Amino acid sequence: MAERRASKTYQSAVPNRSRAIQPIQSQEDAIMPDFANEAVFRRNTLPPRSYHIPETALSLNGLWTFHYASNPLKAPEPKAIPDERWSKIQVPGHWQLQGHGIPQYTNVQYPIPVCPPRVPTENPTGTYRRTFHVPSSWDHDSQLRLRFDGVDSAYHVWVNGFLVGYAQGSRNPHEFDVTAYLDRTRPNEVLLRVYQWCDGSYIEDQDQWWLSGIYRDVHLISLPSETRIDDWFLRTDLDPEYKHGVLNATIDVVTSTRATISLTVRELPQNGGGIVCKGAEDVSTSGTVELSIPIQDPKKWTAEAPNLYAIEISATTASSTPHNVSQNIGFRKVELKGGLICVNGQPIKFRGVNRHDHHPRFGRAVPLDFIRDDLLLMKTHNINALRCSHYPSHPKLLELADELGLWVIDEADLECHGFYDAVARPQNIPEEMDYEERKRRAFSLAAQYTSDNPSWKAAYLDRMEQMVQRDKNHPSVIIWSLGNEAFYGQNHKAMYQYAKDVDPGRLVHYEGDQKAESADMYSYMYPSIDSLIKLSKTEGVNSDGSFEKPIILCEYAHAMGNGPGWLEDYEEAFQAHPRLQGGFIWEWANHGLWKEDPDGKSYYAYGGDFGDVPNDGTFVMDGLLNSMHKPTPGLVELKKVFQPLKLVVEGDNLIVSNLYNFAGLEHLVATYSLEEFSERLSLDQTGADITVTGDNFTFTFDLTRGYLTSWVAGDTHLLEPDPPQAQPLSPPSGVPTDNDIRSSLPYWHRFGVNALTSQVRSVNVTTPSPDSPDAQVTFATFLTPPILDWGYLATTTYNISPAGVLSLTINLKPLGAYPPKHIPETKWFGLGPGESYPDKRTAQRVGIWSAGEVAELQTPYEVPQGGNRMGTRWVTLREPGARGAGCGLRGRGVDGWVCGDEEGFSFRVSRYGDAAVQAAKHPCDLVEEEATLLRLDGKVAGVGTGACGPAVKEDLLVPVGEMEFGFRLEPLGV
């Protein structure tokens, strides 16, 4: 049963405490507890309504008294007197982040046995209690409500010792009429018993931390009892020319006398606050009022121009104070037109992101200013769309989206991805199997647990109803979503029908409905570019080439670690194929939780760091922001790719294309600067031999082992041997990114790329002569791993000029990085200032860049990994001297050398060796080398999105094959 109310009807006020009050039953079913019964999800709650906290509301946030028990049977009785086992806890908040239990992270798999609706007997239970007074300024006969905007995962609530109700649905609000239970003259007590697991946990398997407790706002609300506005639904429409509008208002009224219901449309205060129009209707009984008010040429709402109007609704009687509510709205029309998602008649492109509610210290108890900063960052990085993944977000987020301008997909609190593992593992379905084949084998079976199970229909519908009713008045919400990764079944069809019956003015999304049977668009996750373009030409396409529904990507470009790649390629596909209406990057931010260990280490933790088993490790660290919600290089890259302008030079002309959906370019100002890239060089005369010595410099080679052992310029050792390998120049193995770990790292280890050794095959020394003043030392070395019988024949030629310039040429035939000590200042001519890879470089531009400290060149990824800068013409590393000139070295590409289509070389400057980075779980595990490590590469691979999605493009890999590249190294200031 969806909802059970108390059997007795109470009056609006309690004249004294002596009156007998009948509580509801302790549980709905005689056998199954409420929290393990899919038919019970709300008991004695009020109908869901639009989010609105009136001025007559008392916040119950703050310190509560708290008791933690391992299971419900050990929880204290509601009338028990608190003892030493009780402590204080902050509300909103999670008990795992306040010293009770531990956080647990899983992506897909359930952390509990899969036997819905039953949950573990050991079901941690938190009991919350606090006292409060009803404000004396409130009307004595007002209706009093307790509102909880978010409690994870289920709870019973008592008021003054009486059981008032039960609710579940962790990301949805619930209200209880507590008028009859409260004393307006004395202290009152509210007590909640919160269960970590309930049957609803099976459909709340979103990719995030499992955290429990009262984590959103709690209010005591006072509303008029005689005449009040209970709810309202404001819908806008536009004429066929999208010029003039109409406001359709449905207003739910409670009244016991004659009343006038009036509605006023005003400009916002910052726009003068003038009245635009009015409407009114008289009523004499409770019911629904329908108003339709035409408005001449209103300013339209879009994500680019979020024009809002203020609505005031008033219920007035002859004998009581008017009851007023307010709501901001925007005039816009959402529809499918010509098979495309259109707003105000214009097709739109989503340049969006997926966003969870997350704070590194408070979990999902996110402060409002933190949310506002998130949305401002989105707007300043050219993001125009937001998917609330995978549940309704903080209720005030949508007010900010209305104000700032974002297209929003609002998603029901529904995901049951873990049923896949429950089905796939017994069948021994490997992850490497083709995704479509895995779906064919497992998805229909997984859907039978809940999504295609009629006993769960009411629970599914409740989650759709809660979202729609709370958020229905926000113009930013243009699409409802039926949830995420919950397979597909009859219950989704019922959710779709509910949305269309209640709110036909919005579209409906669900990725699990692969054939868009009950969705208004086709939606996909992580397809390759080729697959996506093919789908746009074939899926749902009629014989004449027409189509009824568009395609979006609800998730793409997995932003884990040093990523994502492919951004330009996806954006090019969206622009080239109108049916592809954009998508939403996965995801906005890392979910690291701040952790301080007893040994003094502190870091942002991921799955397993709390001893949580099972867990999905680093997969929670996959955002464009780090856990403190500061941008990573991935967001910087995305801003450039998402920029709403395209600039192309054609001959002597600069072609500017406007990629906005609605706006012109009159609000933009173009500026330019002319930069000259040049630098003076300091050169010294030299001479050479096996120990090649010149004026103030010396090169020393080990002819028996085939490498340079030392380079001394003046009194400065520019190169010294790396202690583990006893050589300063050696072939690097490379540090994998998160995207490499799944697709590339196993092959690196399999073929021993991380364990190459060297064997000298030949040495050739060319001494200087009048015709050729340079000295040359050439080594033929075989680079090969243990166990295997393959390797590279590396022919390395060191050319030393009389000026002390070292040039290297390396030829690799299938059958290195220079560690100058204590050189902190880096300057380079190439792409910058940030990291760049073949598929992650758009945000960088050619220039002369500098970094005063090596740390400035190291992105502090919360899961340590390497970084790269490409397109480099030269790079200098300099140690400041006493007089400021300093000494150091410069690396250049050999004149005329080009690797493939790339101009310049790649470099990485770091204080961390490859092995140290790969071994570190967190930044605090990194141990700095005494030396500064310089790595030079002729060619590097892209980053791709292989952690979840397409790996590196084939043409952006570095294949095994013969290649040749070279560098020159020059001393500076010696």
Chain position carrying tokens 């969806």: 2
| CA atoms of 327 and 310, how far apart (whole Å) | 6
What are 283's strand-pairing partners?
Answer: 259
Say if residues 296 and 287 touch (Cβ distance below 8 Å): no
Coil, strand or helix: which one is 633? helix
| CA atoms of 274 and 354, how far apart (whole Å) | 37
Coil, strand or helix: which one is 432? coil
Catalytic residue among 38, 411, 511, 555: 555
In order, the DSSP letters of 924-971 are: GG----SBPEEEEES-----TTTTSS--S-GGGS--SS-EEEEEEEEE
| CA atoms of 605 and 591, how far apart (whole Å) | 8
Coil, strand or helix: which one is 239? coil
Per DSSP, 34 falls in state: G
Please, which residues have CB within 8 angstroms of residue 299's CB and are 6 or more apart in sequence? 305, 307, 331
Angle between helix axes 490-502 and 457-471 (nearest 10 degrees) is 30
| Amino acid, res. 784 | T
CA distances to 106, 802, 807, 934 from 887, rounded to whole Å, are: 51, 19, 19, 16
Residue 483: alpha-carbon gap to chain centroid: 17
Is 122 tagged catalytic? no
Neighbours of 505 (CB within 10 A): 16
Angle between helix axes 529-538 and 567-576 (nearest 10 degrees) is 20
| CA atoms of 757 and 329, how far apart (whole Å) | 68
- Taking every pair of C-alpha atoms in the chain, what is the biggest distance, in angstroms? 116
| CA atoms of 964 and 792, how far apart (whole Å) | 12
Is 485 tagged catalytic? yes
Neighbours of 677 (CB within 10 A): 11
Chain position carrying tokens 């009194």: 715
The alpha carbon torsion through 711, 715, 718, 720 (nearest 10 deg) reads 70
Chain position carrying tokens 């680079």: 783
CA distances to 139, 191, 232, 474 from 301, rounded to whole Å, are: 39, 44, 20, 11
In order, the DSSP letters of 802-845 are: TTS-EEEEEEEEE---B--BT--EEEEEEEESS--BTTB-TT-E
Coil, strand or helix: which one is 554? strand
Question: Which two three-digit tokens encode residue 521?
Answer: 């668009």
Per DSSP, 578 falls in state: T
Backbone φ, ψ for residue 755 (5° rounding): -140, 35
Look at strands 477-481 and 507-509 and give their pairing. Answer: parallel
Question: Which two three-digit tokens encode residue 139?
Answer: 């009307």
Catalytic residue among 399, 485, 511, 720: 485
Look at strands 154-159 and 162-168 and give their pairing. Answer: antiparallel
The sign of the CA dihedral 921, 926, 927, 932 is positive
| CA atoms of 667 and 840, how far apart (whole Å) | 29
Chain position carrying tokens 């015709």: 771
Cis peptide bond N-terminal to 614, omega within 30:
yes
| Amino acid, res. 884 | G
| CA atoms of 262 and 274, how far apart (whole Å) | 17
Coil, strand or helix: which one is 59? strand
Tell me which residues are annotated as active site.
485, 555
